[in-house]
A and B are shown apart, each in its own frame.
Chain A
């Protein structure tokens, strides 16, 4: 079933809440509707369900105008979970059974098949055996799941959710999004107004951002969730990072003013990320090398826009890169050697560290003993010992660096 929304304009009182919204939702779509408070998310959902009448524009359900359908007809095609919370003193099964209302004519006596469908919906949300419990005795997450089951019992193809995860703990939030994603697989589609951008990026295949009653950005999470768009729509400064193929936001902590000092970091395999982010935040100009592209340290230095010497993935450090690395070291006021494992591929990095120790500007982070990460042999051990002896500062934990930097760099 296709939900087709064309140039929807909605007024509440004298203020125009939606100013021309156009989009389509197809089977299998799980669309997150993002936008600040008051941007028109709830209004959009309520207009789609037919609770509010649009000033102009049309909502089509498989080509049929929603304004020409009765509320019962709409309820058979669209399942809508409003934000409204309540504490009905009913049995769980009776709450779920209310989802069968559009199919129960006249006296509204539930048929055996209605009860069967309600039970199945409860099972789907993982609340087997809750049928006879009083609704009011459930936890917040369970209550929301019962409401989800109510929507599923309605057996409609298009699902609208208005902030289904707000006020819930993290595990319930994940459960709810997981349940919605499962249900969408079954030739359904879902449109979810939500505030949690990370949650929507993890679960939804499409994102729509609304600002002042207009859809301003739409597409896949990767396309839409960018620091630029977030600043545009939410007026918030964030960094967008990627982990295990999914993107997530981290708030940008106000960066300290530029300190005018350069720090070079010899790292790799994720041993330097933390230092890179920390120094950047503190206002130092950070560079790194030699790294392999796509290494997570490489991603980190790129993210902050620092200079980097890099090799292709899994390639050893070439003499040319080593030279370039030494040049960066030459320019730096401080060099940090992170707890990298040393092997044939990156022995030159250890040598670069030795050279910086000779210049009296090396700090070593030794969070694990060198012997445990030495995969090269005796020569590496010897170079490391000499470096250690020459170097002026050694810390066990990255966090210890923070306090020392002012002293070291002045």
Chain B
């Protein structure tokens, strides 16, 4: 067995562990034994109905949603880092998160803040922002990465101004908007999983199938063209799938930072930059990492902490560590 297969197997095991931990830890403790007996249809344990409800209606959709979001952010971050050939690139580089925040804040401000409305508002503005950034970035039929990058940065700072304004105007709902922006899975439900799963699986598959072309992009855009890749078309497609992944993730869970930045870096240190292994590894690690962080978020204090706080508090020190190690 080579190291790549080994890495993937370890990551799969980590995912299984993440599901078990995600289901068993919470205000009501459920033992591993109970999980297995409920999952295997044995309803003879005490309070079988309640345990079943907690597992299937609350913890399982929440864990699955966290896995989807984690893998989407990790893969989107990984492909953005390749496309921009910049270690600082992350899924939000083309303005998706600030766009989503404006959308969500608007929904709160309009007083129509139902779950589905927030989701739709965030998703639409996120996708729209990515589109606008791309349009601005296109110069004479090409989208040079540095203009995209700068367009993204400029757009993000403009939109965060708008968001701050909206938060200021939100009055009583102010804390709700801020809480939403910080990101978390407390509103997870099967409905959210159902809505997010399709664009996510579709985009994840697309990006994974393009691992080879992403490797070519690492050499530079002209190198990639010189081996016969239609770089502009490819870039557009990768940006669209990353925007879809990120917008879906943000729509269902708010703005969870650092995950899309650090997970690809961690996997790159272990597996190298070959996207044929790096992308699946990032996907699997992202999907295992997020439920763990979520477990911390909902157990570390009375009530619940937004996941984004924890990822930032874990992510930033790690980021600095990478910087000092000179791997960036």
| A and B pair up | yes
Q: Are B223 and A84 in contact (CB under 8 A)?
A: yes
CB contacts (< 8 Å) of B268 on chain A: these are 89
Contacts A82-B220, A85-B220, A86-B85 hold; do A99 and B227 have CB atoms under 8 A apart? Answer: yes
Q: How large is the interface on A (under 10, 10 to 19, 20 to 34, 35 or more residues)?
A: 35 or more
B131: which A residues are within 8 A, CB to CB?
none
Interface residues of A in 83-131 (CB under 8 A from B): 84-86, 88-91, 94-95, 98-99, 101-102, 104, 107-108
A80 an interface residue at 8 Å Cβ cutoff? yes
Residue in A13, A94, A102 whose beta carbon sits within 8 Å of that of B227 in the complex? A102
Query: Is A79 engaged at the interface, CB distance under 8 Å to the other chain?
Result: yes
Which residue of B209, B221, B227 is within 8 Å of A154 (Cβ)?
Answer: B227
A342 in the interface (beta carbon within 8 A): no
Are B230 and A90 within 8 A (Cβ)?
Answer: no
B273 and A75 within 8 A (CB): no
Distance in angstroms from B160 CB to nearest chain A CB is 32
Choose the segment among B89-97, B211-219, B299-307 that binds chain A (4+ C-beta atoms closer than 8 Å).
B211-219
B227 contacts A98, CB within 8 Å? yes
Q: Is B226 an interface residue, CB under 8 A from the partner? A: yes
- Tell me if B143 is interfacial: C-beta within 8 Å of chain A: no
Q: Which residues of B contact A71 (CB under 8 A)?
A: 225, 228-230
Q: Are A75 and B222 in contact, CB atoms less than 8 angstroms apart? A: no
Flag if A75 contacts B223 (CB, 8 Å).
no
Contacts A71-B230, A107-B209 hold; do A90 and B218 have CB atoms under 8 A apart? yes
A138 contacts B by Cβ under 8 Å: no
Residues of A within 8 A of B223 (CB): 82, 84, 86, 98, 147, 150
Chain A residue, CB-CB nearest to B327: A89
Residues of B within 8 A of A26 (CB): none
Contact status A74-B213, CB under 8 Å: no
Q: Number of B interface residues, CB 8 Å?
A: 23
Q: Is B272 an interface residue (CB 8 A)?
A: yes
Name which of B140, B216, B222 has the most chain A CB atoms within 10 A of its CB. B222
B274 within 8 A of A: yes
Whole-angstrom CA separation of A151 from B226 in the bound complex: 9
Interface residues of B in 199-247 (CB under 8 A from A): 209, 212-213, 215-216, 218-223, 225-230
Residues of B within 8 A of A88 (CB): 215, 218-219, 273
B313 to chain A, nearest CB (A): 28
Query: Is A357 interfacial (CB 8 A cutoff)?
Result: no
Q: Does A236 contact B (CB under 8 A)?
A: no
Q: Is the CB of A49 within 8 A of B225?
A: yes
CB of A91 within 8 A of CB of B220, answer: no
Alpha-carbon distance A49/B229, docked complex (angstroms): 12
A75 and chain B: residue at smallest CB distance: B228
Beyond A75-B228, A89-B272, A98-B227, whether A84 also contacts B222 by CB under 8 A is: yes
Residues of chain A whose beta carbon lies under 8 Å from any beta carbon of chain B:
13, 46, 49, 51, 70-76, 79-82, 84-86, 88-91, 94-95, 98-99, 101-102, 104, 107-108, 134, 147, 150-151, 154
Q: List 17 A-B contacts (CB under 8 A).
A: A13-B140, A49-B225, A70-B230, A75-B226, A75-B227, A76-B228, A82-B222, A84-B219, A84-B223, A86-B220, A89-B268, A90-B215, A91-B274, A98-B219, A101-B228, A108-B213, A134-B272
